[in-house]
C-alpha cells in the first residue's frame, strides 16, 4: 500500500496554487478536480507517491509555464516527478501548435513511455475519456464543441493512444481506456 507523506500534501497545495483559476473545458468545474481524479486513478492502480505527485502536476508545465514550470517542479519534487510530467506534456509553447500536430506527435511519443509515465498518462486519458462519455450522455454532441478537432479525430487520437500505451507495456488502465472508448463509440452510434 502506498503511503502518502507531507510531500504529497505539498504537491497538492502547489497544484492548487498554479491551477487555482483554471476550469475544465465545457463545464467550468475547478480544474483541480481533474488533477485529483488522475491522482486517485494512479493510486487505485497501485502507483507510488511519486507517481501520484506527478499525476497532480501532470498538466502544470503544459498549461502553466512551460519549461520554467518544469524546472520548478524538478527543484521542488525531484527528477522522477519531473520526468513523468515531461512525458505527459504535449506542448511547451504558448500559443500551442495545432491540435492535430501535437496529438500525432504525442501518440508516437507514447509508444516508448517508461512504466511510471505510462501509468500517469493512461490515468489522465482514462479520466478525460470518462468525462467525454459522461458528458456525451448528458449533453449529447455538444461535448465535441470543447475540442479543437472533430469528434472522429478525438476518438482516433484516443484509439492511437491505446495502441501506443500497449506498445509501452499496457496494463489495466489501458484496458479501461479502451472500454471507455467503446462506450463513447456506442453513444455515437458507431
Residue 120 has pLDDT above 90, yes or no: yes
Residue 26 has pLDDT above 80, yes or no: no
- Give the model's confidence band at 28: pLDDT under 50 very low, under 70 low, under 90 confident, else very high: confident
pLDDT tens digits, residue range 143-157? 999 998 999 999 999
pLDDT tens digits, residue range 47-95? 999 999 999 999 999 999 999 999 999 999 999 999 999 999 999 988 8
Does the domain at 6-188 match CATH 1.10.3210.10? Answer given as: yes
Percent of the chain with pLDDT over 70: 100
Residue 1 has pLDDT above 90, yes or no: no
**Per-domain residue ranges of the chain:** 6-188
Q: Is the pTM value of this prediction over 0.75? A: yes
What is the 3 state secondary structure string of the chain?
CCCCCHHHHHHHHHHHHHHCCCECCCCCCECHHHHHHHHHHHHHCCCCHHHHHHHHHCCHHHHCCHHHHHHHHHHHHCHHHHHHHHHCCCCCCCCCCCHHHHHHHHHHHHHHCCHHHHHHHHHHHHHHHHHHHHHHHHHHHHHHHHCCCCHHHHHHHHHHHHHHHHHCCCCHHHHHHHHHHHHHHHHHCC
Amino acid at each position: 500500500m502506498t503511503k502518502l507523506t507531507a510531500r504529497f500534501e505539498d504537491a497538492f497545495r502547489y497544484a492548487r496554487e498554479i491551477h487555482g483559476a483554471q476550469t475544465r473545458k465545457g463545464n467550468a468545474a475547478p480544474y483541480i478536480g481533474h488533477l485529483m481524479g488522475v491522482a486517485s486513478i494512479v493510486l487505485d492502480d497501485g502507483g507510488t507517491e511519486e507517481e501520484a505527485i506527478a499525476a497532480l502536476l501532470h498538466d502544470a508545465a503544459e498549461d502553466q509555464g512551460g519549461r520554467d514550470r518544469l524546472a520548478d517542479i524538478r527543484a521542488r519534487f525531484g527528477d522522477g516527478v519531473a520526468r513523468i510530467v515531461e512525458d505527459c506534456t504535449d506542448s511547451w509553447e504558448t500559443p500551442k501548435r495545432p491540435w492535430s500536430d501535437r496529438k500525432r506527435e504525442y501518440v508516437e511519443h507514447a509508444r516508448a513511455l517508461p512504466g511510471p509515465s505510462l501509468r500517469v498518462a493512461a490515468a489522465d486519458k482514462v479520466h478525460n475519456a470518462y468525462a467525454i462519455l459522461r458528458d456525451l450522455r448528458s449533453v449529447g454532441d455538444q461535448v465535441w464543441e470543447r475540442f479543437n478537432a472533430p469528434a472522429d479525430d478525438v476518438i482516433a487520437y484516443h484509439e492511437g493512444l491505446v495502441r501506443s500505451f500497449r506498445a509501452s507495456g499496457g496494463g489495466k488502465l489501458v484496458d479501461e481506456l479502451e472500454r471507455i472508448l467503446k462506450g463513447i463509440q456506442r453513444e455515437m452510434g458507431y
